[in-house]
């Protein structure tokens, strides 16, 4: 099986600061992968490198088995990779419906599984807010809209960075329900979230980063039972 994303030996810097040290990570079709590690260990930097927002100084990333040097973020998106960044990224001046429709496009192989109607069914809360502008939505609704927009691109892999950050518990629960629905639909996911228990429960496998190095890759069920490793790498 060809991986949707296969990164090997990534080294990433911000100016003179060396952040990622030879990171390998792969995401297979339909697979749910968690990215764990304490604050500042390089999770967001890795995601931004995979998305082409930062160019690694060494190493390379293949998308569906294809390499090209320094692909732009829009080219990576066209390979079926959707990214919901920390802090969202919706159009504040468009209403909910417009935000979704403007993002709509067929997937990599022409699939159109995620129609406007299906996204609406997945996010019942948004149906009550259709004519609201992006800026009128609550933080949780904005997050749902950001995920909905990503689904409208019919991705094969959805990358979620801190999707539940700063939201009320009832909304957090709703977002995890949505993540489970997306997983059941066969969309691969890469998830970063402070709630490591939830990440372990909603993924097949987790990769642990420590100071820019991958220190563990284990199936999530095994890792959830290994308190020694969780304490060592997550300080819990």
Nearer to ligand ATP, 204 or 210 (CB): 210
CA dist 48 and 15 (Å) reads: 15
Own/partner pairs, 83-86, CB within 8 angstroms, 24+ separation:
83/47, 83/51, 83/150, 83/158, 83/159, 83/161, 84/143, 84/146, 84/147, 84/150, 84/158, 84/159, 84/160, 84/161, 84/163, 85/161, 86/44, 86/161, 86/162, 86/165
Comparison of 17 and 227: residue with beta carbon closer to ligand ATP: 17
Stretch that binds ligand ATP, among 37-45, 71-79, 125-133, 152-160 (CB under 6 A): 37-45
**Nearest alpha-carbon partner for 181 in 144, 217, 210:** 144
Contact with ligand ATP (CB under 6 A): which of 36, 43, 76, 182?
A: 43
Q: Is there binding between residue 39 and ligand ATP (CB under 6 A)? A: yes
Binding status of residue 40 toward ligand ATP by CB under 6 A? yes
Decide if residue 220 touches ligand ATP (CB under 6 A): no
Question: In this chain, which of 7, 23, 27, 45 binds ligand ATP, going by CB under 6 A?
Answer: 45
Smallest separation (angstroms) from ligand ATP to the CB of 150: 19
Q: How far is CA 16 from the centre of its chain?
A: 27
Q: Does 41 bind ligand ATP (CB under 6 A)?
A: yes
Under rule CB under 6 A, residue 17 binds ligand ATP: yes
List residues near ligand ATP by CB under 6 A.
14, 17, 19, 37, 39-45
């Amino acid at each position: 099986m060809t991986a949707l994303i296969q990164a090997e030996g990534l080294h990433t810097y911000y100016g003179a600061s060396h952040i990622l040290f030879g990171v390998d990570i792969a995401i297979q079709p339909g697979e749910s992968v968690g990215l764990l590690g304490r604050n500042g260990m390089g999770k967001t930097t890795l995601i931004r490198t995979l998305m082409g927002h930062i160019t690694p100084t060494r190493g390379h990333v293949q998308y569906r088995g294809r390499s090209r040097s320094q692909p732009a973020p829009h080219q990576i998106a066209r390979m079926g990779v959707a990214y919901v960044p920390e802090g969202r990224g919706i159009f504040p001046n468009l209403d909910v419906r417009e935000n979704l429709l403007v993002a709509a496009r067929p997937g990599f192989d022409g699939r159109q599984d995620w129609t406007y109607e299906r996204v609406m069914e997945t996010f019942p809360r948004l149906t009550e807010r259709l004519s609201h502008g992006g800026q009128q939505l609550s933080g949780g609704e904005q997050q749902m809209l950001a995920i909905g927009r990503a689904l409208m691109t019919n991705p094969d892999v959805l990358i979620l960075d801190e999707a539940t950050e700063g939201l009320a518990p009832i909304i957090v629960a709703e977002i995890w329900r949505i993540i489970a629905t997306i997983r059941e639909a066969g969309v691969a996911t890469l998830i970063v979230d402070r709630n490591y228990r939830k990440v372990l429960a909603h993924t097949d496998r987790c990769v642990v980063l420590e100071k820019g190095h991958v220190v563990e890759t284990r199936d999530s069920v095994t890792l959830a039972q290994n308190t020694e490793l969780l304490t060592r790498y997550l300080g819990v």
